[in-house]
Amino acid sequence: MRAAVISDIHANRQALEAVLESIDASSVDEIWCLGDIVGYGADPNDCVNLVRDSASVCLVGNHDLAVTGELQLDDFSRGAALAARWTLDVIGDSQLEWLSTLSSKAVVEEVGLFHGSPRDPVWEYVNHTLLADLCFDSMRTRIGLIGHSHVALAFHRTETELATGDARRDNDSVDCSSDSWLMNPGSVGQPRDGDPRAAWLLLDTDGGTARWQRTEYDIAGAASAIRAARLPDSLADRLQYGQ
């Protein structure tokens, strides 16, 4: 199985369309989405429609849950809360209903999928090795895929050693045919690792390999759409810096 793994789209239509075009050229069998389809960006309906039509598996993220009403906006930053309120005003009934059907975790092809982490699929950020070790202890599959942090990374643990982990750059690859792995594809719509290009992961479960990918997209167009929607300028400005 060759799966393209995407996460943290955040209603960035320009980035999502570019990534889907790259995925289409990569001969994958399925697309798996780890959640946060909406939030921050200006095209929630288009992004929901694109993911709904293209992904065979899709999780719900914390920003999606804010829009469906399952999480309180008091738990979010000011910019995130403003974007969620705006999204509620513009999202369509069918898109909102579909988001409400999604779960924050799944198992596909013996791979665990989580928006946040195996311990807390909604909220936990797995961004250092201590947390990764705790997640490995609770994970029931050998490989886990996580989103939420907007940073492309991989954590690895053998039977005799503690977890190690590193951020991953464009075209980095790992042999994940043995041992335990937690991998984050990075963010499609709002990367936070200093690389503004949209991020995604190509996972080959049969071959036991994973390769991180970056895709150029129309950042200026996405930023203009955010400003036209009168969302906070900071949400537009940060796109060009990958922060």
pLDDT in tens, 97-149: 999 999 999 999 999 999 999 999 999 999 999 999 999 999 999 999 999 99
pLDDT value of residue 68? 97
Count the alpha carbons within 13 Å of 210 in the hemisphere toward its beta carbon.
25
Q: What is the pTM of this model?
A: 0.97
Query: Whole-angstrom Cα distance, residue 241 to residue 243?
Result: 5
CB 126 within 8 A of CB 218: no
- Amino acid identity of residue 88, one-letter, is L
Query: Whole-angstrom Cα distance, residue 40 to residue 226?
Result: 8
The predicted model gives 66-74 an average pLDDT of 95
Paired with 184 in beta bridges are 153
Please state whether 118 falls in left (phi above 0), alpha (psi between -120 and 50) or beta: alpha
Phi then psi dihedrals of residue 60, to 5 deg: -105, 140
pLDDT value of residue 106? 98
Per-residue pLDDT tens for 191-217?
Answer: 999 999 999 999 999 999 999 999 999
pLDDT value of residue 75? 86
What domains can you pick out in the chain, each with its CATH number? 2-241 (3.60.21.10)
